[in-house]
Amino acid sequence: MLLIERHLLRQFAETVAAVAIVLLLISLGGLFADLVQEIAKGKVPATLLLSQLGLRSIRFLTVVLPLALFLGLLLAIGRLYAQSEMAVLASVGLGPQRLWRPLFWVALPVVLIVGLAALWLAPMSEHKARDMVEIANRSFLIAGLEPGRFVELPGKGGVMYVTELSPDGTRFGHLFVQREVDGRLDIVTAQDGNLKLIGQTQRYLHLNNGFRVEGALGNKAFRMMRFAQNDIRVPDREADDKDEDLSATPTTKLLTSGKAVDLAELNWRLAMPLFAGILAVFALPLARSEPRQPQYGLILFALLVYAVGMLMLMLGIGLIGNGRLPPEFGLWWVHVPMLALAAWLFARDGRLSRPGSAS
């Protein structure tokens, strides 16, 4: 590789990395807001905020990195045109076609990372994130309960206090629970007990040797009962709408499945690295501009190209998932025209005029 090509490679890589960092920070901000909302609704324990943020952010790589690669290359190549560096390079025989080598070595790692994230890392991290939440439902330690501290139950279902807690967070001693249900106050104490899980969402406190006081708020008529054993249901998390979410399903399982929704998810994962490569091909002809020409129009047009491509891919996934499009047809009807258009733009506009040919 020539020295000037190594210089261009470094410029392209630095610009793409800067754009990727900015887009990832924006994505993390939105993900953080969603996680805080889920914590407030009792879906995710507060102690898992950072781990969930890290695991869930991996799936954003498949969407953010293609756009970062596209915008980064547009900005870097557009800067060469705006500062007349491209004209100087063309005058010494280093035309736009010679940019393919540094462009390729910048795009290749990004495409590989997107493919690795889409096919393996994102499903694995999503599966791990869900497992951590499910384990948290079986342990008061992970859910944030500490001995000697009052803790609010999920969904504002009451207040809980224990003086002792086992190392695994499933057994406790000297419990106090206060709840308000339909205008009635319910106070329960117990000498010891443990946490029971029925199914995936139903959690019960199995209590031994305690008292229960209940009555209507504003009414002095309360009654107290003593029990040897009693079960109290812990308020469930709000219903999750991830039953049809296949983001945690391994790619190998999707390959062996004959369901339309599974094949649609498989096509989506295969489409993202291809889409990133096509956007890299688009970057060179779309970045062409005249010196001192504003670059904002290029960025807006690039975002339009990215948005149209993503919308077409999502449309294709929807058609495959609904059975209206054969899974074997895949998303090639989106990729091939886009790649052909990128090649045509390069053949038509991707070349600078030869020195001295302009009038």
Looking at residue 153, its pLDDT comes to: 67
The residue among 183, 215, 234 that closes a domain is 234
Sign for the CA dihedral angle at 115, 116, 117, 122 comes to positive
Do residue 261 and residue 127 come from a single domain?
Answer: yes
Query: Which pair of structure tokens corresponds to residue 114?
Result: 């997107």
With respect to residue 358, please indicate whether it lies within any of the assigned structural domains: no
Helices 100-116 and 3-40: angle between axes, nearest 10 degrees: 30
Are residues 284 and 96 in contact, defined by beta-carbon separation less than 8 angstroms? Answer: yes
With respect to residue 356, please indicate whether it lies within any of the assigned structural domains: no
> What is the Cα–Cα distance from 263 to 245, expressed in whole angstroms?
13
> What is the Cα–Cα distance from 332 to 328, expressed in whole angstroms?
10
Do residue 268 and residue 322 come from a single domain?
Answer: yes
Q: Does residue 189 sit in helix, strand or coil?
A: strand
Containing structural domain, residue 345 = 3-136+243-349
Looking at residue 97, its pLDDT comes to: 63
Residues of the chain with pLDDT below 70 are 1, 41-42, 90-98, 136-146, 153-157, 168-169, 197-202, 234-244, 290-298, 349-359
Identify residue 20 by its one-letter amino acid code. A
Looking at residue 336, its pLDDT comes to: 92
Q: What is the tally of structural domains in the chain?
A: 2
Do residue 253 and residue 311 come from a single domain?
Answer: yes
With respect to residue 338, please indicate whether it lies within any of the assigned structural domains: yes
- pTM of the complete model: 0.75
Do residue 208 and residue 300 come from a single domain?
Answer: no
Are residues 20 and 66 in contact, defined by beta-carbon separation less than 8 angstroms? Answer: no
Do residue 7 and residue 114 come from a single domain?
Answer: yes
Looking at residue 294, its pLDDT comes to: 63
Looking at residue 14, its pLDDT comes to: 94
Q: Which residues contact 150 (CB under 8 A, 6 or more apart)?
A: 159, 160, 161
The residue among 212, 234, 256 that closes a domain is 234
Looking at residue 353, its pLDDT comes to: 46
With respect to residue 206, please indicate whether it lies within any of the assigned structural domains: yes
Cβ-count burial 274-311 (b if 16+ within 10 Å, e if not): bbbbbbbbbbbbbbbbeeeeeeeebeeebeebbeebbe
With respect to residue 357, please indicate whether it lies within any of the assigned structural domains: no
Q: Which residues contact 144 (CB under 8 A, 6 or more apart)?
A: 45, 46, 47, 151
Do residue 254 and residue 116 come from a single domain?
Answer: yes
Do residue 131 and residue 181 come from a single domain?
Answer: no
> Kind and range of the H or E element at 216?
strand 202-216
With respect to residue 75, please indicate whether it lies within any of the assigned structural domains: yes
